[in-house]
A = this chain, B = another copy of it.
Amino acid sequence: MRIVVIGATGRLGVALVQTFRDRGHEVLGAARRGPDLEVDLTRPETIAAMYERAGRVDAVAVAAGEAPWKPLAELTAEDLRAAAESKLLGQLEVVRAGVPHVAGSFTLITGVLARAFLRTASLASMVNGALETFVRAAAVELPQRINAVSPTVFAEALDDYGAFFPGFKAVPLAEVAAAFVRSVEGTETGRVLELGD
């Protein structure tokens, strides 16, 4: 298959590119600065341009998108808007703009915050809940398959983020990548693949 990995230079993206290549797929890595395609999820015009350059692809896997972590009492109106921009509207736009270009499937990245709630993470929870509901709903309408991968904290990121997830089971990146493989190569649609809890 010909697969676009968005967020190809991040921790998860690098693992996805390698995993899909190891399985014999042709992978186009997309990120703000290459490696193969440039895309910024906060700018819809770069998503359109990415699809034009990519040509016909079989699958899109997203491993990008940020959501703010900030105590609710300190949020500004602008924070609310920003929370919607990147991980949420960016991934929705990847799907919307991809409909004419993608033959097989979309796989989005969400996370445990859709179902576990931490101080300072209410907007991140909102974004993940929005995406997971969208995936279930869009599967009814889309000609393509669509799934989300929803892990807890990455085992490889425990040094940076472990303190926020006391007692949570961490997930090795290899397991997260396997869930993407299941979504891309399998037949499921409208699924949220929860990992680590």
Interfacial residues, chain A to chain B (CB-CB below 8 A): 44, 71-73, 75, 77, 80-81, 84, 88-89, 92-93, 95-97, 99, 113-114, 117-123, 125-134, 136-142, 190
Contacts and interface: CB of A to CB of B under 8 A. Distances in A.
B80 A93 contact: yes
A73 B114 CA distance: 26
Given A130-B133, A133-B129, A99 B72 contact: yes
B97 A118 contact: no
Contact of A133 (B75, B93, B128): B128
Given A96-B72, A96-B77, A99-B73, A134 B126 contact: yes
Nearest to A118: B140
A121 B93 contact: no
Nearest to A140: B117
Nearest to A44: B77
25 contacts: A72-B95, A72-B142, A73-B99, A73-B141, A77-B93, A77-B96, A77-B97, A80-B92, A113-B137, A117-B137, A117-B139, A117-B140, A117-B190, A119-B140, A119-B141, A122-B134, A122-B137, A122-B138, A123-B134, A125-B136, A127-B130, A129-B130, A129-B133, A129-B137, A130-B130
